[in-house]
Structure 1
């Protein structure tokens, strides 16, 4: 087990068989910490998101992001370990937050790792991280080779319209960034068909399309308000520009 994952369990015994197995697995894993929160005092729980490189040696497609919670009972000299594997960091963070980790303590991943490529990726990750029990994970897959991607198929309990959501994360190892996008489907079969064929763009969630329309409407209203606030030219005002000026479209702008 990596030194940074020393949970100081040497003087404690596992509280149950699951915790004993989890501790043994730590020693066999190749864990790299991505985010963590170790509360004080010493007896408080620890929360860790880590990449498990040992998963790549096993069955292809398995999730590689480990979410780990360690709790210690110093009165009984025992510890408990809970773990869950996820395809993406944001789903692992969500799991730990639901297990009691303060959300603000689990929101950041170290700068030395691959970074999100754009604001939309950051927004979708935050949406997943703070979603509570909104998403029921149905399936996931991780690919380290062409294509370099992970996807998580989930059921969104907050909507009856296109409730099957596909979270697709793609990364470029040469540029050190990744993107995450959310797709919406009427049923699981449609989502799996899209994953197999990839013959059309990932369909956007209905609420995202609604937000885009609202933004366009607000922008149009803002332009309209700005125009109405301009002083109007009186009917007797000169209609020809002053000498030496011309009115012609800017060729670099669309009319």
Structure 2
């Protein structure tokens, strides 16, 4: 089914401040199309596809989660949004801002899970958004099928395994996708797999074991979680997806 441009429902409302005015203007570009939306009298939630992202920075996230809140008394609005690589991650972002957990499913035939394993993993991602930091993501939209890789780190410094990689494969012919997960005890091991994936030589993802907690550290406490990386650094092609080094990660 054809996708439509978002209607943020802001007629008769003014931005709460200059920052929200600029933010709302940034969301007014014609390349945004609605994959999922939910509305109340005061709030609107959207998962948007940026159809222009494929022509921008290689590997950039192609989804954006948007929350619009309206103050009916002052007739003002506030907007916040975030680029995210996976639909379930966009849902998690909006659920944390008050959207019902089951309210943002995309229309049938647009972005359907291909199997029960994908459904189960996406349900966990929706509920685990506050447990992991996003270290890197890369959408390889020139591959067939399209692939998106996401590297996460547990926010619990005692969790084992500490690093996870999610890999989504999207089939344009059926509009279905699979999502799989791998677990890595070290950042170096996760990067090794990522670089092999970048070169289209990745082995199977190591199956995730149930997360456990390390015992108390006998020396110094665990190193704090590093700042989140906006996206990995590419080599100038759609198939390049090298993650940033640990000392170059920066906050979104």
Give the TM-score range, shorter chain.
0.7 to 0.9
In the alignment, structure 2 segments of 5+ residues that lack a partner are 212-252
Spell out the pairing of 1:1-255 with structure 2 (5 A cutoff): 4-39=5-40, 42=41, 44-106=42-104, 108-146=105-143, 148-157=146-155, 160-197=159-196, 198-207=201-210
Taking structure 1 as the reference length, what is the TM-score of the superposition?
0.74
Q: Distance in 1 between matches of 2:129 and 2:58?
A: 29
Secondary structure of the residue that 1:51 maps to in structure 2? strand
Root-mean-square deviation (CA), in Å?
1.9
Q: Which residue is 1:247 aligned to?
A: none
Runs of 4+ in 1 over 4 A off after TM superposition: none
Distance in 1 separating the partners of 2:177 and 2:68: 30
SS of residue matched to 1:182: strand
CA contact (8 A) 2:47 2:90 kept: yes
Three-state SS of the structure 2 residue aligned to 1:49 is strand
Structure 1 unpaired stretches of 5+: 209-255
Higher relative contact order (CA 8 A, sep 6+): 2
Aligned length: 203
Contact 2:109 2:176 in 1 (8 A): no
C-alpha separation between the residues in 2 aligned to 1:105 and 1:114? 15
Q: Which has the larger radius of gyration?
A: 1
- Deviation of 1:199 after TM superposition, in Å, equals 4.3
Three-state SS of the structure 1 residue aligned to 2:28 is: helix
2:89–2:129 CA contact under 8 A, matched in 1: no
1:81-135, Cα deviation, whole Å (9 max, x unpaired): 00001001000000001111111223x2210303211110111101001124111
Q: Which has the higher helix share?
A: 1
